[in-house]
Homo-oligomer: A and B are copies of this chain.
Amino acid sequence: MASVTSLPHPDMSEVRLTDVLFALSDPARLEIVRELAGGPLSMAECGTFNPALPKSTKSHLFKVLREAGVVRNEPQGRGRVLHLRRDELDRAFPGLLDSVLAAAV
């Protein structure tokens, strides 16, 4: 089985608006995005809004965000760091992330 240290990320050119909107349409995922807007975080640092969340569930939330092109998940040390793909998203969908992050909870 292939190594899994590096996960696949879609190129922004193949990211569809509806996929991004869907990824952001879940409260838990949106909250994660809000946290990542402050800067990259490890998975452990992220998702503090619900500390009881099992790691498999959390991993799945990140997978949806990653496959939608919203976050980047990169190995670092024995863990992983999550980045919001902010600049790329801003170029592809100008104003979208800003308005979502600015909106009231």
A residues apposed to B, CB below 8 Å: 17-19, 21-22, 24-27, 30, 92-96, 98-100, 102-105
Known A-B contacts: A18-B25, A18-B30. Give 16 more (CB < 8 A): A17-B30, A17-B104, A18-B24, A18-B27, A19-B25, A21-B21, A21-B22, A21-B25, A21-B100, A25-B25, A92-B103, A92-B104, A95-B95, A95-B98, A96-B96, A96-B103
**Number of copies of this chain that the complex holds:** 2
The reply to whether A96 and B99 form a contact with Cβ atoms under 8 Å apart is: yes
Flag if B95 contacts A17 (CB, 8 Å): no
Which residues on the B side are within 8 Å of A25 (C-beta)? 18-19, 21-22, 25
- Residues on the B chain within 8 Å of A18, using CB: 24-27, 30
